Structure 1
Amino acid sequence: MPALPRPQRRRLLLITVLLGLVLYGWQLGTTGLVDETPPLFAASARAMAETGDWLIPRVNGLPRYDKPPLVYWLMGLVYALPGQEQWNPLGTWAARFPSALAAIGVMLALADTLLRWPQPPFASRGPGAVSLRPALTALTAALAFGLSPLALAWGRTAVSDSLFSGLVALALLLCWQTYADPARRWWLSWPVLGLAVLTKGPVAVVLLAITLLLFGWLQADIGGLWRRLRPLRGLALTALVSLPWYLLALHSEGRPFWDSFFGYHNLQRFTEVVNRHLQPWWFFLPVMLVASLPVSPLLLVGLARAIGPLRRSWYPTLPQPPAASLARFAACWLLAVLLFFTAAATKLPSYWLPAIPAAALLVALAAQTAWTGGGGRPWERWAWGLSLLLVAGLGVVFLLARLWVPLINDPEMPTLAAELDGSPLVPLVAACWLLAALLGWLCRRRRPPLRLLALQLPLVLFVPTALLPLWSVGDRLRGEPVRRMAAALQREGRPGEPVAMVGVLKPSLHYYGRRVVIYEGIGVEGPINLADRLRRERRVGQRPSTPDAQPTVLVVIDQTTARAPFWRHLGASEIASAGVYRLWRLDRRRLEASVANLRRNGFAPDWQAPRPERY
């Protein structure tokens, strides 16, 4: 099928941008940073902009080796703009900008690919269907990605996952476009892959390689794929983009950078379970279904169709024309992510993000098929009905929220259940989902892509009218108390007085307080570590001191930890409170006397033990 005329493509892409701005740009900076990881990214990026050191990210007085610098650079460029207090008072607009930009970019890339290379429909019904179908399919693919629960969560969060997934998606789409159209420049995907390596490391190369090998095998055309993509030259371009920073960082930081970034954050995360993220081997199967809600049944249909009937031969499927092979390519892309991260010892939901654009393509291409009037297998026809049931079921669950909202019990947000019980937001959520189910049912006999679009548009409305206000409630209850503690630190702190946070550890205290913070957990070693670190630990912005030189320390502590006996009997004076947090001024001599007693009972400091993700 030929590509749509350029004016139509431009209109569809403009609509896609507007929808992306609603989903990812609306109220991007109106809530604070979500603990625990985003403040570390934001503080590192802001430090780059303020100090002019753009080589190594640093946070809370320590180097941060966990991710390469591209996401920090993009955040830092926005932090470097003037007038931050007026247009970015919470710092979140700058920190979330790369994630939102990447999510909108993926929506555009998916829509543009389907507009330029429309995939052959399984059926055409009615006059004009052939010309309208590619536009609707392109729009539904963009929305299938944009409305994914995981894409929405990480696309509005100040971490590197959304940017990495977006760059991997763009590199893979450019690879397929080069394969589909020999007139395309062969080298376009490889610099983009280099940017992905600058965002999260060499895993980007591994995912692309597995995808291309699977696709070439299923297509029985590994040689043709090799000739069109020229991977040896391409990887040289990838290295040219990404390798200089790694060499400079290794030269600057030496062994600590090598051990932390390559040893821990890449090799060890793949081969061992870190941070207690132990999950069963099948973990990503439910994650895959949740990530594509509420149209997960369409994803399964699209995946089965894209792979096609299997044969008993070295090449298990029949080859497809390159320009008509996008669904199969998306299936290989999704399976590459599934296989690689299933093999990894450490498993996190965010690891599925690189597969969501592929899932969106499979959903949209499955939905462009006419299943009414007896077409298709029964289980294919049932997929649409099951999707409608999921949407309606979720609407009913929210409609009956009064039955389950009182069961919510979050220690950091003790009043959340009461806030939601009296709020009109939960019924509004139910209304959006029930409207989506109703429109999807009313349009069930319309042109196939149109019925999916009818279901998706009310869910677009759900994001600004209900989801973001609910997000604001959570920020007010969970994030604002930490920001108030940070303001109290700036207001009450004495020159040179050290700061600590014990119990519930929130890096946003460092970000908003602009102070080096010593973080200690809830264990009995906390007071021992704190006293020892105040005497001995050295980091940028924090010098060792004795109780004679600096007699007090400010301690932010949550109310549960404050009741522990080894903290409760220290005689601290409370000078501020907010939510579940208290700000204490603690006499260091009394702290050290208590610590001496703990040492006599056999406890010892352990803060110098290796902690790769220490901040």
Structure 2
Amino acid sequence: MKGYLSKESLSQERSFPIILALLCLILYIPNLAGRDLWCGRETLYAEVARDILLNGHWFAPYFNGELYYNKPPLFFWLIALTSVPVGDVTEFTVRLPSALSALGTVLAVYFLGKRLYSARTGFIAGIILASSPGFHKYACVAKLESPLTFFITSSIAAFYIGLTTSSDKRRYLLWGWFLMGLAMLTKGLGVVLIAPVILLYLLSRRELHRIWEMELVLGGFILSATMAVWLLPGYALGGSEYIKGLVGHFGYHVGQGPEYEKPFYYVTEAFVGTLPWSLILPAIFFYLRRGDVDAKHREGLRFSATWFIAMWIVFSLIMAKRSRYILPMYPTIALAAAVMWEDYIAKTYETWSKIKVILALILSLCAGIAAVIMTSGFIVLTPLTSNIIALCLIALLVTWWSSVRAGQYKTLFISLFIMITSFEMAYAQITLPIESQAGTEKAVCEKALANMEPGARWALYKFFSPDFVFYGKTYVRTIDTEKDLADFLSSKDRVYCIVDETDYAEINLSALNVPAFKITKLEKTGKRAKTFILISNRPGKPGDVSPGAKI
């Protein structure tokens, strides 16, 4: 942290990206393992990547034995590649691409901030982005948004530099097109999110005619070639079914039409996701009214504003509202907030005594950790502990207020950074494992497998969860009706089916004249507690001579 507090020098400037990279590794890497994958997206993506790794379906991915065309394959490629050293997809390797993508986004923001303002402002922007709660969250989970944000941010930065530089203009613009292609290979939204930002920025400068300078022909070819690397082999291997599935899935989302309700949903989500740093953003309006703000800073804030507004419009028109969608808006918020923090830090008066600074930092550390412990239920709040926590919070607020009045903005910045990062690290180590355990079917799946004959076929009745496919390491059939269940249990081989306890009570297989035996109960504990019943067409457990209870 010392680099931005002292006078900027060449050696310090060179250390900025190294410090940011180390910061990201410290904040993200320890939080990737040690907890189960979330039911749904994480296990789904992990299983698609495992199929790529083990079965070689790189261009036409499969899930549960069927073609998977809901998403382009780049994210799954990254997971598969990071899993090569261990030979299988694990909780750590499935989340590692998200963490590395977040690191890349932080560095891209640093270099863009350096171009827009100064190296120190870019450094502060990197710190703000890396520690923002919403950004930190998706850096530690296996979701598409983190790599998508990296490619979008890098593409926008390349286009901006290409439009504003006199040297290597063409090289930057072509890199922008290539990175746009990678964004589309990640989620298919590259053009939809990147193009409006560039167009609105040029429009705000009344330079829309400069769009013809952006290497449209060669850039369009690079974009198409990047997509063709996937689509041509995908068609050759998956056939027309794969392409029709891609088009149909895309058409389904586009065909839902725009959503005009909650127009400011994403504004509030972006503000909350970047707390406490976003609290300084209203000061920009007063900052721009000052007469001493140079043209470079005004132009940089114009670019940040058009970036935010363009994406806000696009996201506001999307039917579904998800907070994770707006992750590509976080970099521009970090850049704008960094301008204000750099301005205030430059006004810092004589530094407080070491005792005051250390006290402020200790209080911030304690506040971040205490907030997690209180909400996780690890301790019982007695009157004594409640009073101690209340006194600490009051002392911290008084310290912050005193730092503002005394112009100690450096201390305030570091204090906020320590508080938010200690909260994030403690939350990831204490609360997330508890929440993920409540949201996963891993324990149920493992107990079910322990009560089955190895290699036997099994199915799920009237429900489906990707957890059973990933943790079961086999294809799982879904059965929707009692007749289909009866047909399944009529197999000559031993088969199993997992049934929700409520559905189990309503089954009337005796009327269908098929063998069905209750093998065991499968209990899911935690906040989302649920009971399943494992049934089979043969009595007893593997190696068990006692028969099961016939239904």
Question: In structure 1, what is the equivalent of residue 533 of structure 2?
Answer: 584
Aligned equivalents of 1:59, 1:497: Cα separation in 2: 19
- Per the alignment, residue 245 of structure 2 pairs with 260
Q: 1:280 to 1:262 in 2, by over 3 A?
A: farther
Distance 1:111 1:430 in 2: 37
CA distance in 2, matches of 1:32, 1:400: 20
| 1:493 correspondence with 2:452 | yes
Contact kept, 8 Å, 1:136 with 1:449, in 2: the verdict is: no
TM-aligned CA distance change 1:16 to 1:164, over 3 Å: same
CA contact (8 A) 2:128 2:338 kept: yes
Indicate the SS of the match to 1:188: helix
CA contact (8 A) 1:432 1:459 kept: no
Amino acid at match of 1:459: I
Q: 1:248 aligns with which of 233, 252, 256?
A: 233
What are the within-5 Å matches in structure 2 for residues 20-35 of structure 1?
A: 20-35=24-39
The equivalences for 1:91-170 within 5 A come to 91-115=90-114, 117=115, 119=117, 134=118, 136-170=120-154
Residue matched to 2:498: 555
1:49 Cα deviation from its structure 2 partner: 0.8
- AA of the residue aligned to 1:573: I
TM-superposition CA deviations, 1:107-146 (whole Å, max 9, x none): 111122323x262xxxxxxxxxxxxxx4553333113222
Q: 1:360 to 1:305 in 2, by over 3 A?
A: farther
Q: Which of the residues 442, 446, 449 maps onto 1:483?
A: 442
Task: Tell me how far apart the structure 2 counterparts of residues 252 and 260 of structure 1 sit (CA, whole Å).
Answer: 14
Corresponding residue number in structure 2 for 1:542:
none
Alignment of 1:598-609 (within 5 A): none
Q: Secondary structure of the residue that 2:185 maps to in structure 1?
A: helix
Q: Distance in 2 between matches of 1:64 and 1:175?
A: 33
| Equivalent position of 2:520 in the other structure | 574
1:509-545 superposed Cα distances (whole Å, 9 cap, x missing partner): 211111222346xxxxx443xx52784xxxxxxxxx5
Change in 2 beyond 3 A, CA 1:270/1:282: farther
Supply the distance in 2 between the matched residues of 1:400 and 1:337 (Cα, whole angstroms).
Answer: 32
Contact 1:556–1:581, Cα closer than 8 Å, also in 2: no
Change in CA separation of 1:567 and 1:146 when aligned onto 2, cut-off 3 Å = farther
Aligned to 1:379: none
User: 1:399 touches 1:427 (CA, 8 Å); kept in 2?
Assistant: no
2:175 maps to which of 169, 188, 194:
188
* Deviates most, 506-515 or 449-458: 449-458
Unaligned runs of 5+ in 1: 120-133, 310-319, 374-390, 406-415, 521-525, 536-544, 591-615
Aligned to 2:426: 465
Q: Partners of 1:330 and 1:114 in 2: how far apart?
A: 10
Residues 470/503 of structure 1: CA separation in 2 closer, same or farther (3 Å cut): farther
SS at match of 2:123: helix
Q: Which amino acid aligns with 1:192?
A: L
Contact 1:180–1:323 (Cα < 8 Å) also in 2: no
8 Å CA contact retained: 1:368, 1:449: no
3-state DSSP of counterpart to 2:34:
coil
Pairwise CA distance, 1:321: 5.9
Equivalent residue for 1:340? 314
Q: Indicate the larger mover: 363-372 or 58-67.
A: 363-372
Task: Give the structure 2 partner of residue 412 of structure 1.
Answer: none
Deviation string 1:584-606 (CA, Å, 9 cap, x unpaired) is 3324599xxxxxxxxxxxxxxxx
The whole-number CA distance in structure 2 between the counterparts of 1:58 and 1:146 is 34
> What residue identity is the alignment partner of 1:584?
I
Distance in 1 between the 2:509 and 2:380 partners? Answer: 35
Helix, strand or coil for the counterpart of 1:555? strand
| Secondary structure of the structure 2 residue equivalent to 1:53 | coil
Alignment of 1:517 with 2:476, yes or no, is yes
CA contact (8 A) 2:183 2:190 kept: yes
**Match for residue 190 of structure 2?**
204
Q: Which residue number corresponds to residue 452 of structure 1?
A: 413
Three-state SS of the structure 2 residue aligned to 1:145 is helix
Query: How far off its partner does 1:440 sit?
Result: 4.3
Give, in angstroms, the shift of residue 478 of structure 1.
3.8
Q: Structure 1 residue 359 and structure 2 residue 333: aligned?
A: yes
Residue 12 (structure 1) aligned with residue 37 (structure 2): no
Instruction: Flag the 1:427–1:197 CA change in 2: closer, same or farther, 3 A.
Output: farther
Query: SS where residue 470 of structure 2 aligns?
Result: helix
Q: Does 1:219 align with 2:205?
A: yes
- The equivalent position to 2:84 in structure 1, one of 65, 71, 80, is 80
Aligned partner of residue 66 in structure 1, secondary structure: coil
Contact 2:109 2:331 in 1 (8 A): yes
1:151-196 Cα offsets, whole Å, 9 max, x none, are 2222111121111111101111122222332223332222111111
2: CA distance, partners of 1:139 / 1:261 = 40
Change (3 A) 1:429 1:358: farther
* Amino-acid identity (%): 20
Q: CA deviation at 1:369?
A: 2.9
Pairwise CA distance, 1:52: 1.9
1:69 to 67, 70, 73: 73
Name the SS for the 1:272 alignment partner: coil
Separation of aligned partners in 2, 1:429 and 1:344: 42
1:276-305 Cα deviation digits (max 9, x unpaired): x99634322321222222233323444x57
Distance of 1:510 and 1:146 partners within structure 2: 34
Is the 2:13–2:120 contact (alpha carbons within 8 Å) kept by the matching residues of 1? no
The letter for the 2-side match of 1:460 is: T
The number of aligned residues is 501
Alignment of 1:42-61 (within 5 A): 42-61=46-65
Question: Structure 1 residue 5: deviation in Å?
Answer: 5.4
| Correspondence for 2:273 among 264, 286, 291 | 291
Pairwise CA distance, 1:63: 1.5
Cα distance, 1:430–1:6 mapped onto 2, change above 3 Å: farther
Give the gaps of 5 or more residues in structure 2: 1-6, 348-362, 511-515, 540-551
Counterpart Cα distance in 1 of 2:438 and 2:391: 25
The alpha-carbon distance between structure 1 residues 338 and 219, as it changes in their structure 2 partners (threshold 3 A), is: same
Q: Deviations over 1:14-41 (max 9, x none)?
A: 1111211122112312211111111110
Change (3 A) 1:11 1:345: same
Question: How far apart are 1:324 and its partner, in Å?
Answer: 6.2
Q: Deviations over 1:173-232 (max 9, x none)?
A: 12222233222333222211111111111x2112111111110011222344642x3233
Q: 1:233 is matched with which residue: 218, 236, 260?
A: 218
Which letter does structure 2 place at the counterpart of 1:200? K
Give, in angstroms, the shift of residue 547 of structure 1: 0.6
Change beyond 3 A, Cα 1:439–1:70:
farther
Letter in 1 for 2:497: L
Change (3 A) 1:471 1:42: same
